[in-house]
Structure formats: structure tokens, C-alpha cells
Amino acid sequence: MGDMDLQSKMRLGEEVDLYYYNSKTLEKQSIPALQDTRFYQVFPSLGAGSSTFIYSPDQGVSDIIVGIKLPVRTATTGAASYNGLAVPKAWGYQLINRISIRYGGSSQYFWTGDQIFVENMRECSNPNSRDDLVALGGAEMKTVADFAGDQLFAYVPLNLPHSSSNSSLEKPNPLPSELLNQPIVVTVELNPISSIFYTATTVTGAVGVAPTLLEDAYFQVRQVHADDMGRLMRPMGNGAGYSFPLKSFYQNQIDVRLGNSAAPQSVVLTGFRAGSVRSIFFWIEDTADAKNKYCWVLPRDVQLTYNGTVYQYYRGTASQIWDLLGTDVPSNYNGSRLIDGADAEPAVAGWVSVPERINWVNMPFSQVYEQLSASHLMVTGKKIENAVVNLQLTTPEAKDTYVLKAVYSYNALLFMSAGSAEYLF
């Protein structure tokens, strides 16, 4: 190999052969398995209300999605048309009020459609995947011609503790449902179908009426089946079990109405559970503009303190650059703002829209580390106990309709034992 220079002698580390593969650089799958998406279940109701998906124990459970289709309307005038109506981008998420899951006999937890939207975006493998996920969550439609073909479909991956919208190196292993004696139960509660539709002030021709029922809605699951089921584990008795590490546990969002001020204001974050908090993230919605509820307001001079100690300080809009330096997918997406044609310049009949970069704010406690598929490293977070967590921020303008929506992300695992499961934090 010739004489080694001083740096090579002093540098720590094992030599790695980058020319030939060897036993240290080659790996192979120990339990061969195939994945399929054959199992689906149609919603029992295509209107507002709750639908339940029951998955009986059957080996690996990976992604679960909800597929939605708006009704086809062929008439060009009258109530049967979409004339004068519009739906915003990612309307599939806005249609969901909340979801829940119970793994066998585990505790049941709930999450809102809004936080699922943000969680899915922040877990995507790259910005292109993130924007595709937003587009597949429901296309913006603002003319009769838009309400046709593929644009009537929307797809929402349910962001559950065991699964992730990441499609690359950070994909979690499937949940081994063969260790359960009871089914996995997922519920999705829909808002009224008409709630995602908005009517323009000025419309040419007869104004359409928003539908009250979907044409189609269903659950679908990606399953992973071992070639040889005999190589899989069986439900274990009391005192023994399998610890399934969760990519994260997101607590149900909290909503805090902000003050009507353009000066710095302080918000007390409450509702923490006992556990290791890896990060806190939030977005600010202007509730006065329901048709653009996902066009969030980017705050400035954000400061996060715990018992008076500053953990994050983002001067100006620096929250965005710090997030870019800590993740593959920064906290923004390419959205669109719907504008009533009467408010456009110049005024027009119907709807117009403008593209907009939309941001939320991520505040991590944990050290930056990207997981790898088929492996998991627990990165410690902040133990938040009997203390005060304060958030200081400044909004671009004074409004009494701003609502801050925050989510806490925890380290957690699902302990599977005696045919059931429970969360450990």
C-alpha cells in the first residue's frame, strides 16, 4: 500500500474497500417477503361521519391510505354542475376531521386531518415527493373544466405511528401484526363534503350546488407477506414481547388563538405528556379565510424557551434556513391561493388563483440524525416535566383571526406482548 502519510496514520477509522464487495459491505434479506396492495375496504358511508377499517392480524402492515373521488357531473348548467364552485389544493386532507388507530388492545389516539397533512410533508424523502404528495392530496379546481378526469381523485396516506410517507432510506419496517390476537382498527371521520367547496361571488350562468356525497371512498393497505410464514414469530406470553420502535409519536395538535397584535407576543404551550420530546412544530392559520386554510402565515423572531432557557431563537424568518440545514425536506411547500374573481385585478367572473410558497415552523430538540431503512436509532429528546414552555413570535400584521396549531413529536415504541400491544414513552 506504500508509505502512509501522517494524516492517514492519525485518522481514526477502519479501512474500507471501495473497489471489491466483501462480507462487510454486502447484506441480504434474511426473511424473504413480498408486498402487495390487494386488500381494500370501501367506506360504509360516502357522506360526513365516521368509517371504520378493520385489519385482522395477517403479517406485515405498512402504509394505509384513503382514496377519495368526487362525483362526476356532466351537466353544464344548473345545480348538477360545478359552475362557480372551487376546491382548494389538498382538499382530501381538509375533508378529514380526524383519524384514530388501535393496535389490538392498545390505547386509542386521535389526530386531525390538518396535522396529518403537515406530518406527511415533513416525512417525505425530498421536496419533489413532498409537492407530489400535496398534489395527490387533491388538485385545486376552480372551473367546470377542472372538475373532470383524474382531478376528481384524492389520496391521503394516513400518518400512523407505525408508518411514514417517506418512500426512501427512512422507510420503517412493517408492523408485524402476526403478534396480535386482535385486529388493528382505524377510524376516519369526514367533515361534510360541502365543507371543501366555495362559491364565487360573481358567476356567469347558473350557480352549481356542492355535492353532499362522494362517488367513492375506500381504505387500502400495503401488506408484507413472508415467503415462509414458519420463520415469523408468534404471539408471546406475559413477560415476553417484541418492541417495535416508532418513527415518532405525534400528539394530537393543540390550538391557541393569537392576540390581535403586530408586536411580539408570548404563547404558553400546554398539554405535554411524560416522555422524550424530539421536536415541536407549528403553523398559523388565518381562520377568516377558510378557502385558504392551508396558506399559513410565517411568523418572525420565533423564540422557544423551557423554564426560561432559550432552546431555539430564529431572528426574522431564520426558522426556514435552520430547518433547511437539518432535514432533507424543509418546512415549506408549493401551494396556491384561491381568489374570488370579484376581488381579482381586474375583476373576473368565477375564480382565479396564484401560486404561493407556504411555510410552517419546526423546532427540534434532538440532534440531527437521519434513520436508515431496516434500522432504528433512538435519538434522545427533551424531557418536559412540570415546567413552562413558552413560544414568542411576531405575526406580519395584527389580526384577531390567527390560530397557532402546534404538534409535539415524541420518542416512543409499541410493545407487543400476549397478543396485544401498548405504547411506551
Each residue's pLDDT tens digit, 121-150: 999 999 999 999 999 999 999 999 999 999
pLDDT of residue 76: 57
Dist. CA 373–CA 44, nearest whole Å: 35
How large is the average pLDDT for residues 356-367? Answer: 95
Look at residue 207 and tell me whether its pLDDT is greater than 70: yes
Chain mean pLDDT for the chain: 93
Q: What is the number of other CB atoms lying within 10 angstroms of the CB of residue 18?
A: 7
Q: Is residue 212 part of a domain?
A: yes
Query: What SS3 class is residue 11?
Result: coil
Does the pLDDT of residue 395 top 60, yes or no?
yes
Q: Across the chain, how many H-helices and E-strands are there?
A: 5, 27
pLDDT at 158: 98
* pLDDT for position 218: 98
Q: Specify the higher pLDDT residue, 2 or 190.
A: 190
Whether residue 73 is contained in a domain is answered as yes
What is the tally of structural domains in the chain? 1
Which of 231, 363, 372 has the alpha carbon at shortest distance from 306?
A: 363
Mean pLDDT of 217-227: 97
Residue 312 lies in a domain: yes
Q: What is the pLDDT of residues 271-322, one digit of tens each?
A: 999 999 999 999 999 999 999 999 999 999 999 999 999 999 999 999 999 9
- Angle at CA 178, nearest 5°, toward 177 and 184? 35
pLDDT reported for residue 185: 98
Q: DSSP letter at 171? A: P
In degrees, to the nearest 5, what angle opens at C-alpha 415 toward C-alphas 414 and 419? 115
Long-range contact list for 71-79, CB < 8 A, 24+ apart?
71/152, 71/211, 71/213, 71/214, 71/215, 72/148, 72/152, 72/215, 73/147, 73/208, 76/144, 77/205, 77/206, 78/206, 78/208, 79/206, 79/208, 79/209
Which residues form the domain of 97? 37-424
**Over the stretch 96-123, which tens digit does the pLDDT of each residue have?**
999 999 999 999 999 999 999 999 999 9
pLDDT at 374: 63
**What would the mean pLDDT of 173-198 be, rounded to a whole number?**
97
Q: How much is the pTM?
A: 0.92
Lowest model confidence (mean pLDDT) among 16-30, 49-63, 202-216, 292-306: 16-30
Q: What pLDDT is attached to residue 412? A: 95
241 part of a folded domain: yes
In a domain, 394, yes or no: yes
Mean pLDDT within 414-418: 95
The Cα 121–Cα 115 span in angstroms is 10
Note whether residue 2 is domain-resident.
Answer: no
Strand 153-157 relative to strand 60-69: parallel, antiparallel, unpaired? antiparallel
Amino acid at the residue 365: F
pLDDT-derived band at 422 (thresholds 50, 70, 90) equals very high
What is the C-alpha to C-alpha distance for residues 68 and 94, in angstroms, rounded to an integer? 12
Query: Measured between alpha carbons, how far is 40 from 33 in angstroms, rounded to an integer?
Result: 20
Answer yes or no: is 24 within a domain: no
DSSP string across 43-66: -S-SSSEEEEEEE---SEEEEEEE
Q: Which residues of 157-175 are buried (b: 16+ CB within 10 A; e: fewer)?
A: bbbbbbbbbbbeebbbebb
In-domain check, residue 321: yes
pLDDT category of residue 355 using cuts at 50, 70 and 90: very high
